[in-house]
Structure 1
Amino acid sequence: MSIDFTLTTAQQKLRRNAREFSLEILQPLVKKADEEPDTQKAFVLMKGAYLECYKLGFATGFLPREYGGGGVSNVDLQIVAEEITAVDPGFATVLLVNGLALMPLVWFGSDAQKKKWLVQATSDPRGEYIAGWTVSEPVDDVGGTANFDHPGAHPAGIGLVAKHDKARGEYVLNGQKYWPCNAGGWDLRGADVNVCIVRTDPTKGGREGLSAIIVPRGTAGVSYGDPISKLGHRLCQNNAITFTDCRVPEENLFAIGDGDLVISKAFTWSGPVAAIAAVGVARSAYEFVLQWAKTRRAGGGLPMIHQQAVGYMLADIAMKIEACRAFSWKAAHYLDLFDSEGHAVGAMAKVFCGETLFTTVFRALQVMGVNALDKRHPMEKFLREAAVFPLYDAGNIGMQMRKIWGVMLDENFDPRAIADSRRMDFQKSMESTGALVQTPSGPDVRNAVTQETRKRSSAPVRSA
């Protein structure tokens, strides 16, 4: 079949529904919520819009139909995400994080876990159900999220420890998380579920010692601090969480010893969504400035768009938006082909489009000149939102570029696989790249890790 970017009738309807929701329900709430200094109040102000999203299927539509989800493809998700992020990417992140939390259950959970937790997520009669993706932790001298795959034992890497109490059939959690989205829920007493990455074996490194566990709302031993006040994406909630002797039933544990793969695959799935979210913000900035340039004369004569410098900058912005949309769709299509096994292309799309967005929005500000600084116009918000993309969702430098690098280091890496849409499976041997670095007085452990990575890559690689 020839390549065709034409939307089907069903996809056109999906886009129409998403656009109507975004303009008629979401947009009237955004300005007041974005300007609200209390971050939890700002989050709660969006609850009405979230309820409508749940009703429309946008909050859980990515889950399989057999568990009550919409079963939408990654490409279909692109269509919805662009329309919502064009109005506010922070609110869209709330929906995205439902997927980051729940899709790992689809990939790694048992049949019993899927039936229990996914059906619960899709059948809330209140329409308030929300899930937290609880991975990120405070930065210190040793631990941290970006080096989750560090080969060293605890405390390197993930620091939330889950100790098995076999006698009681429970895991006891102690530690902290910082930055998880949605985790506090609508009332700061917890999301309906928090899917947490924990250290189940402190004696092993990140490629063997991590697992995932489901912590339901109401579990004792979890406390939430005030949500973090942020530069951009202010309408999503990011939390500081402390776990103190938090007991969770052992049947809530999954992906035992493979928590690293959960992290890598979840942030692969979200990569194309983050990429199209960048397109949504850039699109809105471009359309506002295009209209400005067509209607402002700036001192007399013809409108500003007739100035060559302005015309060239607008043309450059438009080209980059179209290129990023095509890249986002390509990455989403690849994930649809191979059950979200597209670790390199997912990361590439996220990095490239997020970085491109920032320069594109800055160019749009230059078209307006000093008027772009006037907060009566939306340009300062576009710039604040654009600053988030290279930093969030497995930050470009911290995790996503390392993932691409790790895939490329593999001796079986096929540089044409993405272009040819050939499967390349992600391996644990592709992790730990860059997690250890050479110190001025110490051994060159970086080379040792690289050699170990290559040594462990023995089987032919089919997807990246």
Structure 2
Amino acid sequence: MPIDFELSKEQLGLRIQAREFGDQILRPLIDKVESEPIPEKRFQLTKEAYKAAYADGSAFGFLPKKYGGAGLSTLDYAIIAEELCAVDPGVPTTVVANGLGLMPVVYYGSEEQKERFLRAATSDPSGEFVAGYGVSEPPGRHSGTANFDAPLPAPAGIGLTATRDGDEYVLNGQKYWPSTTGGWDGQGANLNLFVVRTDPSRGGKSGISAIMIERGTLGISYKAIDKMAHHGARNDEVIFKNVRVPAKNLIEGTFGNGDLLINRNFGWSGPLVSAAALGNARGAYEYALEWAKNNSAGGPEPIIKYQNVGYVLGDVATRIEACRYFVWKAAHYLDSHDYHGEMIGAMCKSFVTETMFDCVYKCMQVVGTNSADRKLPFAKFFKESAIFPIYDGGNFGMQRRRVHGILADPGYDPRALAENRLVEFTRDMEGIDTVPGTSI
């Protein structure tokens, strides 16, 4: 029978390992990280936990075995992400950023680049190696990134320029919100993948590429952003001033194809972020269920005996279960189609993260006023749930627009996903509705 919702022995092992990691290593960090006011120090507090993830192979386990990874599937990682994020999303977000920074090398890199960059990531004796991913840019008239594929002339879209000068590219511009790029000490991650405009005369989706920047490269400054949640993960403001990078660091297959890389990358991370949101909501649900079984709110019986509480928690349990299977379907689809899941990844991310946000709030309603007490975990559950829909290619920006672009294509087959057939994403599907009043 090809459809089987029973996890394999290996996947059950990964789940148990992740659950133990969350309880034993992540949980003791929560209060320390949440009470630290300085964002750089919050991230540094997770270093030992990250090193434990590196040691057990999960920090770069998504990379092929050929280059030192564990060859874990996207579905494997979705299972891990749910368990870890039921406790805290900090270290798991750093691991996903590793993937966003290095999976493009798997997709588009030359063999030399794969050996050079991927092997470095999986063979660090210190266990501290991190990779960053930088697409988003500061908000402003022509900047920001939500409409990066708008078919408009320069300077619309990606504004970080990379100008060829002999055997080097010279980078100038800014990024805002990239993940993990500042590294542990604010001097840069070991490797950072930045999406750049290699043809500064072009705007929108044209002339975009991706380049790797190694730690120690001069002319770059990193400043950690103070966020409302995901305190255990790092996001940065990055400024480039005449930064010289070897031309051999430009990922070979991304030259002029950076727009397709962005969409493919956020397709890959879609089910993983969804799994994280699912785990966070599951943590809220399990706490609310236990609360309902042990608190009477002044009545004669625990509140779980009342119809409204039972119905609300039943609906939450139903949605969590349904979203889990959507995550598994999307992850399996990516594993079946060479990590192409531009449509289903976006659908999964938008639906699951928003559904789980609502579930967390429903759990707070069950607990009532006490859910606002910081002695309980709901303030954290709620803040974390609010982040998932608005980051990682925000649901109101890149995610839904990617689905819209595919639906509008004359060749789209609405039965393809149901039959697990590839839905190809092409450049013609980009940019829809990015120019007000028109459809591209």
Regarding TM over 0.5, the answer is yes
Which of 166, 175, 178 is matched with 1:177 structurally? 175
Match of 1:290 in 2: 289
| Secondary structure of the corresponding residue to residue 187 of structure 1 | coil
Pairwise CA distance, 1:36: 0.9
Q: Percent identity?
A: 51
Distance 1:26 1:386 in 2: 18
Alignment check: 8 A CA contact 1:85 1:281 kept: yes
State the AA in 2 paired with 1:48. E
1:118 is the counterpart of 2:115: no
Distance 1:105 1:114 in 2: 6
Match of 1:348 in 2: 347
| Secondary structure of the corresponding residue to residue 273 of structure 1 | helix
Distance 1:290 1:29 in 2: 24
Distance 2:232 2:117 in 1: 26
Match of 2:60 in 1: 60
Distance 1:146 1:253 in 2: 23
Match of 1:370 in 2: 369
Pairwise CA distance, 1:78: 1.0
Distance 1:196 1:125 in 2: 25
Alignment check: 8 A CA contact 1:153 1:202 kept: no
Q: Which runs of 5+ in 1 are unaligned?
A: 439-445, 450-464
Q: How do 1:240-319 and structure 2 match up within 5 A?
A: 240-254=237-251, 255-319=254-318
Alignment check: 8 A CA contact 2:176 2:236 kept: yes
State the AA in 2 paired with 1:371. N
Pairwise CA distance, 1:423: 1.2
Match of 2:93 in 1: 93
Distance 2:210 2:225 in 1: 24
Match of 1:395 in 2: 394
Pairwise CA distance, 1:121: 0.5
Distance 1:184 1:83 in 2: 27
Greater CA deviation, 140-149 or 39-48?
Answer: 140-149
Q: Which runs of 4+ in 1 moved over 6 A?
A: none
Output one character per residue of 1:91-125: Cα deviation in whole Å (capped at 9) or x when no partner.
21111100011000100111110110000001100
Match of 2:234 in 1: 237
Pairwise CA distance, 1:73: 0.8
Distance 2:266 2:104 in 1: 10
Alignment check: 8 A CA contact 1:151 1:204 kept: no
What do you get for the CA RMSD once the two structures are aligned?
0.9
Match of 2:10 in 1: 10
Output one character per residue of 1:332-356: Cα deviation in whole Å (capped at 9) or x when no partner.
0111110111211110000000000
Alignment check: 8 A CA contact 2:183 2:190 kept: yes
Match of 2:217 in 1: 219
State the AA in 2 paired with 1:355. E
Match of 1:435 in 2: 434
Alignment check: 8 A CA contact 2:162 2:197 kept: yes
Match of 1:386 in 2: 385
Pairwise CA distance, 1:205: 3.2
Distance 1:357 1:126 in 2: 37
State the AA in 1 paired with 2:364. L
State the AA in 2 paired with 1:63. L
| Superposition TM-score, scaled by structure 1 size | 0.93
Alignment check: 8 A CA contact 1:206 1:260 kept: no
Distance 2:145 2:314 in 1: 39
Match of 1:197 in 2: 195
Distance 1:130 1:253 in 2: 19
State the AA in 2 paired with 1:74. T
Distance 1:240 1:341 in 2: 29
Pairwise CA distance, 1:206: 3.3
Alignment check: 8 A CA contact 1:59 1:95 kept: yes
Pairwise CA distance, 1:2: 3.7
Distance 2:298 2:227 in 1: 38
Alignment check: 8 A CA contact 2:155 2:203 kept: no
Q: How do 1:32-47 and structure 2 match up within 5 A?
A: 32-47=32-47
Greater CA deviation, 28-37 or 255-264?
Answer: 28-37
1:109 is the counterpart of 2:106: no
| Secondary structure of the corresponding residue to residue 236 of structure 2 | strand
Match of 1:454 in 2: none
Pairwise CA distance, 1:142: 1.3
Pairwise CA distance, 1:146: 1.0
| Secondary structure of the corresponding residue to residue 324 of structure 2 | helix
Distance 1:413 1:369 in 2: 46
Distance 2:344 2:2 in 1: 21
How many residues of Structure 1 are paired with residues of Structure 2 in the alignment? 438
Q: How do 1:425-464 and structure 2 match up within 5 A?
A: 425-438=424-437, 446-447=438-439, 449=440
Distance 2:366 2:183 in 1: 40
Pairwise CA distance, 1:298: 1.1
Distance 1:46 1:25 in 2: 10
| Secondary structure of the corresponding residue to residue 72 of structure 1 | coil
Output one character per residue of 1:149-201: Cα deviation in whole Å (capped at 9) or x when no partner.
122232100000001002xx100000001111100000000000110000100
Distance 1:420 1:125 in 2: 44
Alignment check: 8 A CA contact 1:91 1:233 kept: no
Distance 1:144 1:110 in 2: 30
